[in-house]
A and B are shown apart, each in its own frame.
Chain A
Amino acid sequence: MTVKVKLFAHLRDGRFRERELKLEPGTAVRDIATALGIDLDEVGVTMLNSRHCNLTQEVHEDDVVAIFPMVGGG
């Protein structure tokens, strides 16, 4: 299946801004982050088709996944 993945801020560094990925059925958002080498400690908001989702959320054909970094500085 094909899923569009969007990355934000420094998560793009050395990766991409937006890309369509071929994934196996049953893939979760967490699996995408891990496959991209993103430290899960860095992950903040995750969204599936513009709605908040958990890392354990499974993705499906034509879904759009957005992964934002955790932002904590003040």
Chain B
Amino acid sequence: MSVVSAIQRIATEGTISLKHAGKLAAEYGLPLAEVEKRALSIEIWPLRYLRNSPLLSPTEQIKLLESTVVVAGCGGLGGIVAMLLARLGTGRLILVDPDRFEESNLNRQLFCTVKTIGMFKAEVAARKIGEINPAVSVTAINDTVENTRNAINRASTVIDCLDNIPSRLTLADMSRRAGVPLIHGAVSGLAGEIAVEMPGAKTVMERLYPNPAARQRPPAVPGFSAGAVAALQCAEVWKILTGRKALPSGSRIFWEIDDFCFDQG
């Protein structure tokens, strides 16, 4: 019996459970994501993605499962971005961060717990992502973005969740050279911004950071500000990967939580 026939046989009300998908993956020697894609190809929803429907079509969900996203920075923004993309059903995540969790990260960084202090952020995030969605292929790189050119070259999208301006500009340059869309996010206090750069289109990063050598104190970053920006970044990733209309390349949204104000320009 083919795996598709087996999926049809085991499906209930147009869905297949994680337990059954996992069992078929083991029986047929396939990755779990492959079983999910084959189910979607006959419009059977893996139960875990059911509430993505009808916002996503089965074809769009397959596109996501076939996408590779680099999350540069696994702190306040990156942890939440990685978690949301895993839950959404992004097929491959490459998590990049050279740092280890510190106690001062506990106020906002999703994967920072009392137990993970001292551990590499990217490794912890990868392990937690595996618990959230075992179909996602996750790679942790405990290094700076400057040393992740190969990962960026094979990405569908790169997400800037970094915390320093020189690295953000380097990442933008690497993404442009690789011809990969970049989704930028940054937060400071009660304000945040996101921006998009598409390959070969209008750029924005140098406009956001006209003075890369500026002296910057580490800003206050409450968890809710980081969460809001991370969610907006993921929405743009979702739009780009599924071919929807995203924020125009070269423009940015500036957001202030205490003023209920969004400014696009």
Footprint of B on A, CB under 8 Å?
A: 8-10, 40-47, 50-52, 54-55, 66, 68-74
Task: Tell whether, in the assembled complex, residue B216 and residue A72 are in contact, meaning their CB atoms are under 8 Å apart.
Answer: yes
Task: Tell whether, in the assembled complex, residue B211 and residue A72 are in contact, meaning their CB atoms are under 8 Å apart.
Answer: no
Task: Tell whether, in the assembled complex, residue A41 and residue B186 are in contact, meaning their CB atoms are under 8 Å apart.
Answer: no
Chain B residues contacting A42 (CB-CB under 8 Å) are 214
Q: Indicate whether A41 sits within 8 Å of B216 (C-beta atoms), given known contacts A10-B191, A52-B207.
A: yes
Footprint of A on B, CB under 8 Å?
A: 73, 75-78, 160-165, 168, 185-193, 207-211, 214-216, 218-219, 221, 226, 252, 254, 256, 263, 265
Task: Tell whether, in the assembled complex, residue B208 and residue A74 are in contact, meaning their CB atoms are under 8 Å apart.
Answer: no
Task: Tell whether, in the assembled complex, residue A45 and residue B164 are in contact, meaning their CB atoms are under 8 Å apart.
Answer: no
User: Chain A's interface: helix, strand, loop or mixed, by majority?
Assistant: mixed
Q: Indicate whether A74 sits within 8 Å of B75 (C-beta atoms), given known contacts A41-B215, A45-B265.
A: yes
Q: How far is the CB of A4 from chain B (nearest CB, A)?
A: 15
Task: Tell whether, in the assembled complex, residue B265 and residue A44 are in contact, meaning their CB atoms are under 8 Å apart.
Answer: no
Q: How far is the CB of A23 from chain B (nearest CB, A)?
A: 22
Chain A residues contacting B216 (CB-CB under 8 Å) are 41, 70, 72
Task: Tell whether, in the assembled complex, residue A8 and residue B188 are in contact, meaning their CB atoms are under 8 Å apart.
Answer: no
How long is the Cα–Cα vector from A48 to B78 in the complex, in angstroms? 33
Task: Tell whether, in the assembled complex, residue A47 and residue B265 are in contact, meaning their CB atoms are under 8 Å apart.
Answer: yes
Q: How far is the CB of B248 from chain A (nearest CB, A)?
A: 13
Q: How far is the CB of A10 from chain B (nearest CB, A)?
A: 6
